[in-house]
């Protein structure tokens, strides 16, 4: 078995963009700046998966300098990441994601995020959110961050 962790942070975009978190679009909220759809929750999960499988990080496989990944859906990134870990002989046993933000309030969307991520991943991925009590850039509401932890098991 292997444990992996991932972290991702994006600032809010000045341009109009949809906000995607955990493969769920959050209505009436400012989007995040990024080369892809900037879904920090899913990106943190991908980094945790890649780290646990000793495959590097998201940037190694899906560079933000590659125009092929401009505005790419994180659903596609997660699907490709899951293929990479399976090809390396691993399967996801469980995952846990924490979203760090002051706004928007996410409680109503967390079950849908868990459902979407779990369905695609083929294992339970829990999703929760917390504020930073006004501390730091995320606490001032300048963006959103996420952390993730996964447990992988060698396929037999």
Q: Per the CATH hierarchy, to which homologous superfamily does domain 2-154 belong? A: 2-C-methyl-D-erythritol 2,4-cyclodiphosphate synthase (3.30.1330.50)
Question: For the chain, how many residues are written?
Answer: 156
Q: List C-alpha distances in Å: 34 to 20, 70, 105, 108, 155.
A: 11, 9, 21, 25, 34
Token pair for 77: 């990134």
The SS3 assignment for 127 reads strand
Asked whether the beta carbons of 33 and 63 are under 8 A apart, the reply is: no
- What H or E segment, with its residue span, contains residue 25? strand 24-26
Q: List C-alpha distances in Å: 88 to 36, 43, 137.
A: 25, 19, 37
Which residues are registered as beta bridge partners of 154?
Answer: 90
Q: Report the pLDDT value the prediction gives residue 1, as an integer from 0 to 100.
A: 97
* Interatomic CA distance for residues 131 and 121, integer angstroms: 26
- What H or E segment, with its residue span, contains residue 21? strand 19-21
- Relative to beta strand 124-130, strand 90-100 is parallel
pLDDT by 10-residue block (mean), the chain, 156 residues = 98 96 97 95 98 95 85 94 98 98 96 98 98 93 97 92
Q: Report the pLDDT value the prediction gives residue 47, as an integer from 0 to 100.
A: 98
Q: Report the pLDDT value the prediction gives residue 63, as an integer from 0 to 100.
A: 80
């Amino acid at each position: 078995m292997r444990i992996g962790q991932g972290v991702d942070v994006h600032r809010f975009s000045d341009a109009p963009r949809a906000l995607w978190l955990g493969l769920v679009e959050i209505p009436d909220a400012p989007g995040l700046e990024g080369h892809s759809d900037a879904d920090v929750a899913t990106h943190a999960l991908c980094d945790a998966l890649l780290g646990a499988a000793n495959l590097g990080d998201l940037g190694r496989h899906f560079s933000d300098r590659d125009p092929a990944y401009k505005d790419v859906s994180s659903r596609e990134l997660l699907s490709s990441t899951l293929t990479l870990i399976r090809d390396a002989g691993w399967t996801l046993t469980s995952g846990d994601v924490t979203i760090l933000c002051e706004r928007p309030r996410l409680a109503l969307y967390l079950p849908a995020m868990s459902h979407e991520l779990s369905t695609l991943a083929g294992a339970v991925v829990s999703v929760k959110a917390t504020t930073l009590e006004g501390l730091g850039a995320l606490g001032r509401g300048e963006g959103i961050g996420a952390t993730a932890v996964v447990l992988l098991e060698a396929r037999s």
